Amino acid sequence: MPPPVKKTMRHLKKTVFGFFFLFLSLFLTDLCFAYTIVSPVSSKPIIIQARRPLSTMVLKLSSKDELASLRVATAQNRAGEDQVIDPMGLYEKDGLSYIHYSLPLKKGDNTFVINPGEQELKIEYIPVRTLLNINFEDSNAFLFHRTAVIPEECGLCHTEQLPEGHGLDVERLKKNADYSPACFSCHRNLHSKGEWLHGPAANIYCMSCHKKGVDDTKITLLTGRVDDVCFQCHINKIKFRTQEHVHGPVGTGDCTICHDPHGDAYQFQLWAEGTTALCIGCHGNKKNIGKKSIGFYPHGIVLGSGCVACHSPHASGNRFQLYKPINELCISCHINLADVEKGHPVGNHPLKNKIDPRRKDRELACTSCHNPHGSNYRFLLIGDILGGHVCNKCHNN
């Protein structure tokens, strides 16, 4: 073989061996980095159904020195724009290091990459507002307490010994059998976050609403309707079930559609402002009635006191969950019409005790001519008074 060819072959061999040892070195580096995902653990993509778009991940390291090389990031932009996630806590036990991360979730698929090793954690996040939307039987759904109240390895640190700085009056709290200090170290955010806390959450009485499964193997919600749990304390609310007109969420038996059972930013543990904003979360067709705008006349009571000025958010004996029959409700503000049975707006025009010509299944009432929420016409009329357009709704002949 000519010398130039031999020289080229030797160079090629060196290059090949160089790349081989480089890749071997990188492989061994990843292989030697001994971290383990303690939670969440699954061989399949994980499904998380929750109100809050967060999940906790715990990694176990065999050496604290390895922490400097550890990197956790989202995989939203793999072209160098991943969002790096910083640890929220590092805890040591029996020579091992446990690193806790709070993973931000978006609706749908989420991928988190752990380096070294390019290990991926895939999570499908399904936001829920009500417990009725959670499928507890889905084997892919991640339930931390599915197999044990506290998994054995987690129980090394998470005991009934409260963490430092807990700020709780333990002597008072432990007088109640439902006091659950073991829950606090993981779920202390349910105790501290939210201006309005539900009593059991504020006092760490978790077992008031949750129970351990057979042989103390899991934590779950009490079986049956959700409101069965609520009515154990809120006994004055049982009457809602027997009312003639029941608000949809109450009818389904799930109070958590509107109320967060732990706590939230608004009074009564509501997830939005309770007089109007909460209502239009479902009643989207009413989202503009509480806003002033050119050419629209909102009902003053809606602007001032919101939907709950007229409607019970739970149930009542009147259609649309009104506190009183329509005319009685209206004259509680419009007292000048309190004793008027006819003659408004003109002549012998009746105000009640007649069938509504437009709505044959209803009695004539204030809402026959006025929109109680708001209107594009003055006086909240359902048509323009000029030209008799409002009158023509009934008197069309």
360-368 own/partner pairs: CB under 8 Å, 24+ apart: 365/325, 365/326, 365/327, 366/326, 366/327, 366/330, 367/326, 368/394
User: Using CA atoms, how far apart are residues 74 and 82, in angstroms rounded to an integer?
Assistant: 5
Residues of the chain below pLDDT 50: 5, 16, 18-31
User: Exposed/middle/buried for 393, CB within 10 Å: 0-12, 13-18, 19+?
Assistant: middle
- Its pTM stands at 0.79
* Rounded Cα gap, residues 123 and 167, in angstroms: 34
- Positive or negative CA dihedral for 135, 137, 140, 146? positive
The answer to whether the beta carbons of residues 18 and 26 sit under 8 Å apart is no
In whole angstroms, how far apart are CA 81 and each of 45, 74, 96, 106, 174?
23, 9, 31, 17, 49
- Reading the block at residue 160, the tokens are 């009934």
Coil vs helix vs strand at 344? coil
Q: Which two tokens stand for residue 4?
A: 């130039």
Residues 6+ apart with CB under 8 A from 353: 341, 363, 364
- Which one-letter amino acid corresponds to residue 99? I
CA distance 90 to 98: 6
CATH class of 37-143: mainly beta
φ, ψ (nearest 5 deg) of residue 253:
85, 20
Answer whether 179's CB lies under 8 Å from 200's CB. no
DSSP state of 363: B
pLDDT of residue 19: 45
pLDDT at 375: 92
Q: What's residue 77's pLDDT?
A: 58
pLDDT digits (tens, 9 = 90+) for 107-164: 999 999 999 888 899 999 999 887 777 777 777 788 888 778 888 888 888 888 887 7
The domain locations on the chain are 1-32, 37-143, 170-230, 238-393
Q: DSSP E strands: which ranges in the chain?
A: 35-39, 46-50, 54-61, 71-74, 89-93, 96-104, 108-115, 119-127, 196-197, 210-212, 219-221, 245-246, 263-264, 297-298, 315-316, 374-375
Q: What pLDDT shows up at residue 332? A: 94
Query: Cα(38)–Cα(18) distance, rounded to whole angstroms?
Result: 37
pLDDT, residue 217, reads: 67
Q: Please state, in angstroms and rounded to a whole number, the distance separating the CA atoms of residues 108 and 122.
A: 11
Using one digit for the tens of pLDDT, what is the confidence trace for 324-375?
999 999 999 999 998 888 889 888 899 888 999 999 999 999 999 999 999 9
Quote the tokens at residue 179. 């006091």
